[in-house]
Amino acid sequence: MAPRRSPPSSSPTQPSSGAGSTRAPSGSTRTPAAAAFWDAATPSYRKIVVHWVHDAKQEATRAKRLHELVVDSAAGRLVKFQRYGNPPAWLARAAAAAAAARGS
Task: Classify 11 as helix, strand or coil.
Answer: strand
Please report which confidence band the pLDDT of residue 1 belongs to, taking 50, 70 and 90 as the band edges.
low
Structural domain including 79 reads 28-102
* Domain assignment present for 17: no
Answer yes or no: is 92 within a domain. yes
- 20 inside domain: no
2 pLDDT tier (thresholds 50, 70, 90): low
- Let me know if residue 3 belongs to a domain: no
Mean pLDDT, the chain, whole residue set: 81
Q: How confident is the model at residue 90 (pLDDT cuts 50, 70, 90)?
A: very high
User: What pTM was estimated for this model as a whole?
Assistant: 0.69
78 in a domain, yes or no?
yes
Count of domains forming the chain: 1
Any domain includes 2: no
- The verdict on residue 47 lying in a domain is yes
CA dist 11 and 104 (Å) reads: 31
Please give, one letter per residue, the 3-state secondary structure of 24-89.
Answer: CCCHHHCCHHHHHHHHHCCHHHHHHHHHHHHCCCCHHHHHHHHHHHHHHHHHCCCCHHHCCCCCCC
Measure the CA–CA gap between 81 and 18, rounded to whole angstroms: 26
**Coil vs helix vs strand at 74:** helix
